[in-house]
Amino acid sequence: MLLQYALGAGALFADPLIALAAAPPGFDQWRANFRKHALAKGISEATWTRVMGRIEPDMSVFPQMVAQPEFSEQIWQYINRRVSDWRIIAGKKALQKNEPLFARIEKDFGVERGTLLALWGVESAYGDPQVQQNHMHPVFPSLAALAWNAPRRRAYWESELINALRIVDRGWSSPEEMRGSWAGAMGHTQWMPEVWLNVGFDYDGDGRVSPFGKPDDALGSTAKFLVNRGKYHRGEHWGYEVSGASGSARGNRTYAAWSSAGVSRADGQPFPQPNASAQLWVPVPDGPAFLLGPNFYAVRSYNPSMNYALAICHLGDRILGAPPFIQPFPGSERALTLAEVQEMQLRLTKAGFDTGGTDGRVGNDTMKAIRDYQVKMGLEPADGYGGLKVLARLRQGS
């Protein structure tokens, strides 16, 4: 259904004369008023007509707004899903293929390759065209819906819609190419239109700024974003899992001060930069504890979720060879291996729950199949998390 919708919306842009269903009540009036605003902001009449003249809002954005996984999963599930065996293996391959690019970025911006690899892997599966084709929407129907009728931050969505129109107006991209998330984020590292306009730059020297195609512009510009907006510190690691942390410890201290207070790295290694500063974070009681430096918060500037930043930082470490966290989260289970995920997908598909493939990647199709299976089998919670318990039950069923 998602692919069919996406192709249909693409056809809309290709032929503005296609007959459309009636817009939801109030949308046409909003569009007429917004047209005046867009033209006053410098958007050309030709671009307005090309993009917005016969557009229909993508109403699917509204249920997606309230189901963001950062805020509905236990932290260990969130991390296991993103720091997956598939992403670690694919990340190593992506680094091997693009090592000169990452070396150049480290030299130019000082951003660790692990951080950028993890962002790339989580945001677009390392630029996999199947993700772009099967799971990305045309952004203009999404942004139009949000600018028209978002329950909050409507001014923000209107601004991003203007930014997206400005990209087309400047000839940087086309409506057909501009496919992204429900919120309008696009390309390898999921740029919002404002980031594309104000942070993106031509890192590969081909005369065009684009988050699509070759990853150079996307990764180089993302490093620039982390430095300029996230205040990334060259040469510092994001932080470390630690032991010996007191629950009452607070504040920003140097690693040397933390060491004096009895806090040490969980792996027993010394802190390489004792004069750098960090803050203590214990996500859940009795779980792993972390000292977080400025570069953790630079990553968080990309997505304002502590869970997201931790998943990105940990995935980057794992791609570069680090082990899993030493202290487990309470109630957690280890992540499935690539072979186990593939086995789970195969067993689910054979049981009538189509996962959309058996490649070891857990996307929306696999999560829906897991949830449907959990509901049918009475497994609680029916949360779509495919872990050891689900796999064990599938094996029993065979």
Which secondary structure element, helix H or strand E, spans residue 272, and what is its range? Answer: none
Whether 171 maps to a domain, the answer reads: yes
Looking at the fold, whether 251 and 347 belong to one and the same domain comes out as no
CA distance 43 to 23: 23
The number of domains in the chain is 3
Whether 80 maps to a domain, the answer reads: no
Beta-bridged to residue 186, according to DSSP, are 180, 191
At residue 94, the pLDDT reads: 98
- Sort 197 into a burial class: Cβ within 10 Å, 0-12 / 13-18 / 19+: middle
CA distance 186 to 290: 31
At residue 10, the pLDDT reads: 33
CA distance 95 to 317: 13
Listed in sequence order, the residues at least 6 apart from 107 whose beta carbon sits closer than 8 Å to its beta carbon are: none
pLDDT of 287-336, one tens digit each? 999 999 999 999 999 999 999 999 999 999 999 999 999 999 999 999 99
Looking at the fold, whether 180 and 276 belong to one and the same domain comes out as no
Beta-bridged to residue 138, according to DSSP, are 179
Whether 150 maps to a domain, the answer reads: yes
Strands (E), the chain: 137-138, 179-180, 239-243, 252-254, 264-265, 277-281, 289-292
Looking at the fold, whether 61 and 143 belong to one and the same domain comes out as yes
pLDDT of 8-58, one tens digit each? 333 333 333 223 344 567 999 999 999 999 999 999 999 999 999 989 999
Closest CA to 51 of 162, 204, 165, 167: 165
Inform me whether the pLDDT recorded for 5 exceeds 70.
no
At residue 247, the pLDDT reads: 62
* CA within 13 Å, CB half, 364: 12
Whether 127 maps to a domain, the answer reads: no
Whether 265 maps to a domain, the answer reads: yes
Confidence category of residue 135, pLDDT binned at 50, 70, 90: confident
Beta-bridged to residue 264, according to DSSP, are 243
Whether 330 maps to a domain, the answer reads: no
Buried b (16+ CB within 10 A) or exposed e, 343-375: bbbebbbebebebbebebbbbebbbebbbbbbe
Contact (CB, 8 A) for 327 and 264: no
Contact (CB, 8 A) for 318 and 296: no
pLDDT of 220-269, one tens digit each? 999 999 999 999 999 999 999 999 987 667 789 999 999 999 999 999 99
Distances (CA, A) of 135 to 2, 138, 358, 359, 368: 7, 10, 17, 16, 14
Domain boundary among 276, 292, 308: 292
Strands 277-281 vs 252-254: parallel, antiparallel or unpaired: antiparallel
Confidence category of residue 133, pLDDT binned at 50, 70, 90: confident
Looking at the fold, whether 174 and 256 belong to one and the same domain comes out as no
Q: Which of 91-100, 121-130, 240-249, 374-383 has the highest mean pLDDT?
A: 91-100
Which secondary structure element, helix H or strand E, spans residue 45, and what is its range? Answer: helix 45-52
Distances (CA, A) of 376 to 99, 321, 381: 46, 39, 12
Looking at the fold, whether 381 and 277 belong to one and the same domain comes out as no
Question: Does a cis peptide bond (omega within 30 degrees of 0) precede residue 381?
Answer: yes
Domain containing 368 equals 338-397
At residue 7, the pLDDT reads: 28
* CA within 13 Å, CB half, 280: 24
Whether 109 maps to a domain, the answer reads: no
Tell me the pLDDT of the chain averaged across its residues: 90
Distances (CA, A) of 309 to 57, 118, 295, 392: 32, 10, 10, 31
What is the model's pTM?
0.87
- Fill in the DSSP letter of residue 211: S
